[in-house]
Structure 1
């Protein structure tokens, strides 16, 4: 599109108020782009943001949006630290919620995107998922000074039941409900693709989300987990579309963005905390789901 407008990278960078190296990295797929910079580029090229996504360079027009579930559409309420604390107290552990949350996040970050992406792609059923989380929670509990093997297994099972599959400790993000309503009215096809237990379907239904989606794909129900591109293609095929016509939105680079891109979809990461790390990923950057309106 830049070349069709007769602009060099330097000219486009100057008009958009961006650095030339950023334009170069963007065109090579080495940089992600925030919505603000999309506006700058669109203005510099005298086009709309929608034109950026409907051009031959960027593929087909977006006809469907696929969503992740946890931390994309729904969040823990109360916080993870409080929910975990309730379970831990039943096993004699009294830990401040902020400490629990901090240790959880530190272990997650220590795994890194590559490890999480590789390991999650191998999970095929609920047993495999529970074993992965058992290994994770053992590390977390060891940091809290708890090493009882049987106790770790019980805590892991209870966390799966009381946290991940319990609609009573989750809330739908306000921007999630709003964007789902808007997209539904516009006739955009919608799907939900999530790594979770089969009982996750009940969580989705009880939270009033089921009615928005043309299809729902849960990893344990199909025997495939994100970031395996096959789970994305199940949803895409059910919608009767091509991968290039689909935008996937999720909060995890390791499972959501990696998998969506491997499946051939456009990908956007949602980051309501404005973290510098997520701004550097090679995908569209969103800090509010309502920004999706500018991409359709």
Structure 2
């Protein structure tokens, strides 16, 4: 067991624990549009412009809202088909987690560490992650669509900490740095660590190059505390 000062690790989801390639995202989007009987090009701009609404609300309700807001004519049946098409493709990202993710989560649990995940995502992601191989190791899911807050707002990290029953000094945050998430974690009082994937994210704080490095980092912090 570790020194009790280190009790939790909060992870980003996409491209930290679960890969989400641009090609897969595009494929999921295109098939969703086709299921809604729209040319993907027609849907692209309103979909992009309303990301905040989509990722801070229920996806089914969002699609009904988008239909009314932008004057689309899809039916409820088409909305259900669109959601299923998206889930089938988008959900395939969970079939093979990021390299070493399952082992890292397992080792952290063996060390007595509580694990949280904070993600900017649509509401269908809970079902996707619930049947994945990483879910048995996760104690708390803080999903923007359910909480109504997106990273980098500090409140979403604070929500995760409350649900974990931990204080900021007892946790660290790990992510690939998108959505300015590391700064948000820092503002919430967490030590933020970049999982550097050579994606152009600049971070002046601590960085690791592979997910398994977090085990040594947790042990180092435990000793220093």
Please report the TM-score for the alignment, with normalisation by the length of structure 1: 0.54
Q: Distance in 2 between matches of 1:205 and 1:188?
A: 20
* 1:258 to 2:169 alignment: no
Q: Distance in 2 between matches of 1:226 and 1:164?
A: 25
Deviation at 1:181, TM superposition (A): 1.2
Corresponding position of 1:167: 91
Please report the TM-score for the alignment, with normalisation by the length of structure 2: 0.69
- Partner secondary structure for residue 73 of structure 1: coil
Corresponding position of 1:62: 6
Q: Distance in 2 between matches of 1:225 and 1:93?
A: 26
Corresponding position of 2:216: 294
Deviation at 1:197, TM superposition (A): 2.8
Alignment of 1:1-296 (within 5 A): 61-76=5-20, 79-86=24-31, 91=38, 124-126=56-58, 150=72, 158=82, 162=86, 166-170=90-94, 171-272=96-197, 274-275=198-199, 277-278=200-201, 280-296=202-218
- Structure 1: 5+ residue stretches without partners: 1-49, 55-59, 95-107, 112-118, 135-147
- Structure 2: 5+ residue stretches without partners: 42-47, 219-225
Q: Distance in 2 between matches of 1:120 and 1:282?
A: 27
Q: Distance in 1 between matches of 2:181 and 2:203?
A: 12
Q: Distance in 2 between matches of 1:254 and 1:160?
A: 26
Q: Name the CA shift for 1:254/1:198 in 2 (closer, same or farther; >3 Å).
A: closer
- Number of aligned pairs? 197
